[in-house]
Chain A
Amino acid sequence: MIPVPRVEPATGTLVLAPATFDALAAFAADPAAARGDHRLEPHLAAVENAGLLSGDSLDPGLGATLEPVVAPVCRLALRHEAHHSRGWVSSVTASLLVPADAELRRLVRLHPSFLPEALAKLAALGPRTRGATPSSLRIPEATFEHLVRTAALDSDAVERARDATPGGGQAPPSVGRVRGSWSVEAEWLDSVGETRGRRVEVLDTEQTLWMLRRTGSEVELSPTSPTAVWRALAGLLPSDGDLRAGPSRRPAAPHA
């Protein structure tokens, strides 16, 4: 049974099943091909039942929401705990597909300048009491994943991880227990079609926020602040210069 998409009266936001969203995105990109795909038909029928699709005509608001999905300048992928959200950004608008509950997603359209706020709210970023700033630390990636999964990245665990990793960095006196972790990745194509991107990954513990950087087999954790995370989120999207960037990392042609 495919849930019929519904529009939330208070916000005008569309709530729908993930597969229905995929069918809608396919329809917005190529209506004739989508109509010819029998796997998509029940989902498109559900959208028709919701009054958002008639023949080949999408509701104008929904059509505008799907514009960046069809022709994105940049794609976003947010992971927060077990939840995954996706985003698409064009030069004038952005759309986010975020969890509404265990089964359904909420499709939100917003001005790109509001993306940092939307991502910050999904990650519960906000003011917090500051303690003493701990040192940065490095721990093996497998150990880190285990500690985060079991929410057991307390000071003892960090000490054990450090002891198990010769030269593995300084452990802080205490990092507190893990409150959560999240990451967001932005990906775009530069002027020659090469994939570029930026990534922000944050661990939230009782003591502080940590910015994460993965370096091969290790994870580097640097203490950070909501302000620094905001700055990273605000700088996530590609600038005009990023989009114009060519194959600068490729070796230059040898001199004749």
Chain B
Amino acid sequence: MDLILSSHPSAGFELPLPASWIQIEAPNDLPLPDLDPDARDAEIALVAVQPDGGQPLPAVLVVASEPIAATTQLDPWVDTNLDELRRSVNRLFVVDAEPVQVDGLPGWRTLTQYAVEDIGAVTLERWLLLAGRRGWTISAVTGTLEYPEIAEATSAAVAGFRLVAHGAP
């Protein structure tokens, strides 16, 4: 899958995204809660949607950020995020969780599955990154049987995630 670098004009980040995916910036008015319930409280900066290819659920990648209290530590923030996810979706199954570093930012990657009515099993891979007083969340959602088709591209997108100064070229 070809990736092209996408720079967000105001949120201060860039990441490579699959070239064919449709990108929507600052889509806070989009009806996304069913796919990513936690995103409701976060400031969604970017949504990238896989073109509809007849799959049960086109894959969606969401980049969001939220203000974090100065005292917030990484592990409790990740635990809270997972607890909120558990409360807001049906039949959450945690496949994997590991600490990661992206662009020098400490974080965690979690791989979970939950059930969505009329769709079936959905796999959510999520990276939670702590950047000072701001928490960044990158979520990739897809039908579970379609996960192998996008896993490499979404991992590459996150590996290329960079925070950039506002107004930087």
A contact set with B: CB distance below 8 Å? 111-114, 116-117, 120-121, 125-127, 130, 225-227, 230-232, 234-235, 237
Interface membership of B120, Cβ < 8 A: yes
Binary per-residue interface labels of chain B (121-144) against chain A in the complex, 1 for a CB within 8 Å, 0 otherwise? 101010000000000000000011
When A117-B113, A231-B151 are in contact, do A125 and B145 touch as well, CB less than 8 Å? no
A127 x B123 contact (CB < 8 A) = no
Interface membership of B148, Cβ < 8 A: yes
9 pairs from A and B in contact (CB 8 Å cutoff): A111-B120, A127-B94, A227-B95, A227-B125, A230-B147, A234-B146, A234-B148, A235-B145, A235-B147
A235 to B147, CA, bound (A): 8
**A113, A130, A225, A227: which contacts B121 (Cβ < 8 A)?**
A113
Residue of A nearest to B115 (CB): A114
**B123, B125, B145: which contacts A237 (Cβ < 8 A)?**
B145
> Across the interface, which residues of A come within 8 angstroms of B120, CB to CB?
111-114
Residue of A nearest to B116 (CB): A113
Binary per-residue interface labels of chain B (92-117) against chain A in the complex, 1 for a CB within 8 Å, 0 otherwise? 01111110000000000001010100
A125 to B111, CA, bound (A): 12
A234 to B143, CA, bound (A): 10
Measured between C-beta atoms, what is the minimum distance from B142 to chain A in Å? 9
B contact set with A: CB distance below 8 Å? 56, 93-98, 111, 113, 115, 119-121, 123, 125, 143-148, 151
Measured between C-beta atoms, what is the minimum distance from B119 to chain A in Å? 8
Residue of A nearest to B123 (CB): A234
> Across the interface, which residues of B come within 8 angstroms of A130, CB to CB?
98
When A113-B144, A234-B144, A234-B148 are in contact, do A125 and B95 touch as well, CB less than 8 Å? yes
> Across the interface, which residues of A come within 8 angstroms of B147, CB to CB?
230-231, 234-235
A24 to B111, CA, bound (A): 38
A41 to B17, CA, bound (A): 61
B94 x A126 contact (CB < 8 A) = yes
When A114-B121, A227-B111 are in contact, do A127 and B144 touch as well, CB less than 8 Å? no
Most chain A beta-carbon contacts within 10 A, residue among B93, B97, B145, B151? B145
B144 x A116 contact (CB < 8 A) = yes
Measured between C-beta atoms, what is the minimum distance from A168 to chain B in Å? 31
A34 to B7, CA, bound (A): 66
> Across the interface, which residues of A come within 8 angstroms of B123, CB to CB?
230, 234
A112 to B119, CA, bound (A): 11
A230 x B96 contact (CB < 8 A) = yes
Measured between C-beta atoms, what is the minimum distance from B149 to chain A in Å? 8
B111 x A230 contact (CB < 8 A) = yes
Most chain A beta-carbon contacts within 10 A, residue among B96, B98, B120, B146? B96
Measured between C-beta atoms, what is the minimum distance from A169 to chain B in Å? 26
Closest 6 pairs between A and B when the two form their complex, measured CB to CB: A113-B120, A113-B121, A235-B148, A226-B96, A127-B97, A234-B147
Given contacts A112-B145, A113-B119, A227-B111, 15 further A-B contacts (CB under 8 A): A111-B120, A113-B56, A113-B143, A113-B144, A116-B145, A117-B121, A126-B94, A127-B96, A227-B125, A230-B147, A232-B148, A234-B123, A234-B144, A234-B148, A235-B145
A45 to B79, CA, bound (A): 52
A37 to B109, CA, bound (A): 56
Measured between C-beta atoms, what is the minimum distance from B2 to chain A in Å? 20
A230 to B93, CA, bound (A): 12
Residue of A nearest to B142 (CB): A234
> Across the interface, which residues of A come within 8 angstroms of B119, CB to CB?
113
> Across the interface, which residues of B come within 8 angstroms of A125, CB to CB?
95
Measured between C-beta atoms, what is the minimum distance from B89 to chain A in Å? 13
A125 to B144, CA, bound (A): 16
> Across the interface, which residues of A come within 8 angstroms of B97, CB to CB?
127
A227 to B147, CA, bound (A): 11
